[in-house]
Amino acid sequence: MDGKPIIDDPFHLILTQADGNKVMVSMSFIMNLYSEEIRAANIQKGDRLTLWGETDTREKESYTVMYPEKIYKQNAGTVGEAWERESTNISGVVSDIVMPGLKNRYHGQGLLIEALYELFPLSEDQKEQLNAKKTQEIKWTDPWSGTHNVIFIQPVKRENGERELLFSLTSLQEISDTNQALRWFYVYLGLGGFVLILCLSFLFSKMVTRPLIVLNKMAKRMVHLDFTAVTPIHQNDELGNLSNSMLSMSQNLDNALRELREANLKLKEDMEQKQRMEKIQQSFFTNASHELKTPLSIVKSFAEGLRDGVNLNKRDHYVSVIIEEAEKMEMLIKDMLDLARLESGTIRLHKRSFLLSELVEKVSDKLVYLLRNNQLEITVSTRNELPVFADPNWIEQVIQNFLVNAIRHAEEGSMITIEIQSDAHKSRFFVDNKGERVPEEQLNQIWERFYRAEESRSRQTGGTGLGLSIAKQILDLHGCEYTVENLQDGVRFAVTFNS
């Protein structure tokens, strides 16, 4: 219990004296005090040293241990100084040296030796406590560094009855420094973790919110029935599947909306067509009844006169009037039936090639008496005429209706001009007369049923009012282009045939 260590110092050297005895020199204590000087001395094998310090003879191990306080090396000077306690002088040659390192003067073994020298010999009270097998806990401050330590001394009794002490030293300063370092470490770790969490949260929010923002914009466009800007999000997750579903839905809705618009447009056109047909039908019956009412009244009155025994001199006149009015009704009914057949779409055209000039000449021969009564003439001019491909019977009726209309509205003694022009692809047919012009706002109405330019609807100047409507239907069946326009002193009808 004298405080001398029984475990070899890891920092030591073997000194061989002149008589051959070897001494183990413990270096921890002096290294703890003079580490820089020891490093500068650069002790190596073969160096002769003189040491001053305390010695301890280990009888069981048969060697001597020295704890140097001062070392002298030739050419290197003296390291350390002798303490006031008694010291021994030993000289010899270094035969072996174990120095793991000289970097830290506070190495545990050196500090432990210093504590041993500081505390031993123990006080009587401490010895009594240890003899009573009580562990001693002593707070000790290193006088050199000022670090706080705690020392534990535990008594141990060997089987041979010897008592030894387990001497343990722990630095409280290192624990405090460690705690402080840990506190700073946790602060830095917390700050770094907070910043990392913020960055990850920002990135994650970008990854999640970006497709959500895109989906929201797509949904807003779809609310306003705009399906053109819907694009899929290329992600293999639920958001990608949702965008693909929205794309499919938008395409289906777009197709359905387009079909619905087309259906609504068609329905609107059908309703407008139905309304037009109702108006046309109503107008047709009104005009037809008006056109038939007058000749029927005349026929009835003249027939009643014949029944009542009218004067024999007037009987022939009555009969001729009845026949004339019957012919007018027959012509009206024929025109109405032709118009109904043409509008029904059941007419089959028998097309062949023919010259329009020949057809005009044929129609003119039929109208010779009508032309003579109105003192009119027809002139025909052709230029590069080519045959047209059409149904001659129906085209003959078109030409006849145009010529009859031109004759009825021409001035007496004027000329009706017919012109035919052809090129490689088309033939153009013109009918001009001199007479009353059609009001500009009524040019598009002359193709309607029972239309007459004069509001009086005179039976002397007008026909049935169906001729131009029939001509329009026939030309539409042939796919021809036709127009009517006012000239400076009359009206022109123009038709374009495909050659």
pLDDT given at position 233: 65
Stronger pLDDT, 171 or 191, i.e. the higher one: 191
* H/E segment holding residue 450: none
Q: Which residue has the tokens 């004067």?
A: 311
**Average pLDDT, stretch 356-362?**
91
What CATH superfamily is the domain 348-498?
A: Histidine kinase-like ATPase, C-terminal domain (3.30.565.10)
* Number of other CB atoms surrounding residue 281 within 10 Å: 10
Question: Which residues sit opposite 307 in a β-bridge?
Answer: none
Stronger pLDDT, 234 or 309, i.e. the higher one: 309
pLDDT band at 84 (very low <50, low <70, confident <90, very high): low
Instruction: Output the six-digit token pair for 20.
Output: 């051959």
In this prediction, what percent of the chain has a pLDDT beyond 90?
10
pLDDT given at position 456: 43
Q: Are 14 and 23 in contact (CB under 8 A)?
A: yes
CA gap 59, 6 in Å, rounded = 11
Of 329, 328, 400, which Cα lies nearest the Cα of 363? 400
The most confident of the ranges 81-85, 191-195, 316-320, 447-451 is 191-195
pLDDT given at position 431: 93
pTM score: 0.42
pLDDT given at position 5: 59
Query: Quick one: how far is CA 39 from the chain centroid?
Result: 74
Instruction: Output the six-digit token pair for 432.
Output: 């001009």
| 3-state DSSP helix/strand/coil % of the chain, to nearest 5 | 50, 25, 30
Stronger pLDDT, 9 or 5, i.e. the higher one: 9
> Where does 159-231 show beta strands of DSSP type E?
163-171
Q: What angle do CA 282, 471, 321 make, to 5 degrees?
A: 70
Average pLDDT, the chain: 78
Stronger pLDDT, 450 or 115, i.e. the higher one: 115
For strand 77-80 and strand 426-434, is the pairing parallel, antiparallel, or unpaired?
Answer: unpaired
pLDDT at 457 over 60: no
For strand 148-157 and strand 163-171, is the pairing parallel, antiparallel, or unpaired?
Answer: antiparallel
The most confident of the ranges 81-85, 103-107, 243-247, 283-287 is 243-247
The distance in angstroms from the start CA to the end CA of the chain is 141
Inter-axis angle of helices 238-307 and 312-344, nearest 10 = 170
Stronger pLDDT, 405 or 253, i.e. the higher one: 405
Q: Which strand ranges, in their side-by-side order, compose the sheet holding 490-498?
A: 377-383, 415-422, 426-434, 490-498, 481-486
pLDDT band at 433 (very low <50, low <70, confident <90, very high): very high
Of 54, 52, 75, which Cα lies nearest the Cα of 64? 54
pLDDT band at 107 (very low <50, low <70, confident <90, very high): very low
pLDDT at 428 over 90: yes
Domain definitions of the chain by residue range: 1-119, 230-346, 348-498
Instruction: Output the six-digit token pair for 87.
Output: 């010291």
**Average pLDDT, stretch 478-484?**
90
Instruction: Calculate the dihedral angle through the C-alpha atoms of 440, 442, 444, 446, rounding to the nearest 10 degrees.
Output: -130
Instruction: Output the six-digit token pair for 193.
Output: 């973790």
CA gap 388, 385 in Å, rounded = 9
pLDDT at 194 over 80: yes
273: three-class secondary structure by DSSP: helix
pLDDT at 177 over 70: no
pLDDT given at position 173: 66
- Kindly report the length of the chain: 499
Q: Would you list the DSSP string of 237-252? A: SHHHHHHHHHHHHHHH
pLDDT given at position 419: 93
Q: Are 486 and 453 in contact (CB under 8 A)?
A: no
Inter-axis angle of helices 238-307 and 172-223, nearest 10 = 10
pLDDT at 32 over 50: yes
64: three-class secondary structure by DSSP: strand
In this prediction, what percent of the chain has a pLDDT beyond 70?
79
Stronger pLDDT, 376 or 223, i.e. the higher one: 376
**Average pLDDT, stretch 126-130?**
81
Q: Cβ neighbours of residue 121 under 8 Å, at least 6 residues apart? A: 2, 3
Same topology, domains 230-346 and 348-498? Answer is no
Q: How many helices (H) and strands (E) does the chain have?
A: 11, 16
pLDDT at 105 over 50: no
CA gap 376, 379 in Å, rounded = 10
Q: Pick one of 1.10.1300.10, 1.10.287.130, 3.90.76.10, 2.102.10.10 as the CATH number of 230-346.
A: 1.10.287.130
Q: Cβ neighbours of residue 326 under 8 Å, at least 6 residues apart? A: 295, 299
